[in-house]
Amino acid sequence: MINQLETAGVSGKGLKEFAQKSRTLEEQIIIIHNIEQALTKAEFYGKFLVIINNIDGPNFQNKMFQNVLSQLVDLTEFVFIVTSDNLYINYLWTQTVKDSFSFYFLKYNTAVPYQYEINDKTSLTGEKNVKSGTGLIQILKSLTKNQREVVKVMAQIQLKGDLSLMTPKALVDYMTDNCIGICNNQNRFMELILEPKDHEVVVEKVLPKTNKQIYKLNIDQENLEKLANGEFDKLDV
C-alpha cells in the first residue's frame, strides 16, 4: 500500500506533516479522504473494514465523535462492523447519525436468556415512542445540562395546561421573566430543542383555534411530573 501511495504522489512524510497540522476530527476525515483518492488513482479499489467493539461505550458517546464517525462511513469507502451491549443504543444517536451509519442489525443472544433481555423491565419492547420507560432516561442522559433545563421548564409550563404558553416566544419570555438564564432569544431556544426534537421528546403542534405553532413534550403524565419536579436533574452524577 505504501508503494501505491508513493506511486500516486503521496508520501508518508507529507501525510504525517499534514496530520500533525490538523486540529479537528473533521480535518482528519479530509486526510483519510485524500489517502483514499490517492489509492484510487493508484488503481486500488478495495474497501476498508473497521471493527469497533462496544460502540455504545462511554468513549463513543461524545456527540462530535459520533458525528465524525458516521460521516466517515457516509463519505468514504470505510465499512464498520461494531458490537453493542446496550439495548437502548437507538437513543444514543440522533436521526442524522443513524442515517449516516445506515447499520444493519444482527441479534446475537448472550448467556442471559433472551426472554429476560426483551422483557418490559429491561428492553424497548412495547415502547413504540419515548413517552415512558428507560428509553426516556437514556435520551435525557444524552442531552446537555442546558437542553435538559429547557425541557424541564417546558414540562413545568405544560403541566399548567395553558398550551398557548408553549410558543417559542412565550417560552423565551417566561424564562427571561423568571431569570432562568438558559436562552434570551428564539434562535437560541430552537438550538437547544433541536436534539430533543430529533429524539421526539419535543414535538411540534399547531393549536386548532389560533393556528399558533407550539412545542410540547411527548411523554406521559408520570414522567412529565418527575421532569418538572427535578427528579431527572442529577442524571450525570
The one-letter amino acid code at 191 reads: E
Q: How far apart are CA 90 and CA 86, in angstroms?
A: 9
**Interval 211-230: pLDDT, tens:** 888 999 988 888 899 999 98
Where exactly does CATH 1.10.10.10 map onto the chain? Answer: 134-228
pLDDT of res. 156:
93
Q: How far apart are CA 225 and CA 152, in angstroms?
A: 10
Query: Buried b / exposed e across 89-113, counting CB within 10 Å, b at 16+?
Result: bebbbbeebbebbebeeeeeeeeee
Longest dimension (CA), the chain: 71
* Average pLDDT taken over every residue of the chain: 76
Q: Which of 16-20, 160-164, 188-192, 198-202 has the lowest mean pLDDT?
A: 16-20
pLDDT of res. 237:
45
pLDDT of res. 1:
40
Among 3.40.50.720, 3.40.50.300, 3.40.605.10, 1.10.10.10, what is the CATH number of 134-228?
A: 1.10.10.10
CA atoms within 13 A on the CB side of 124: 15
Asked whether 230 and 157 are in contact (CB, 8 A), the reply is no
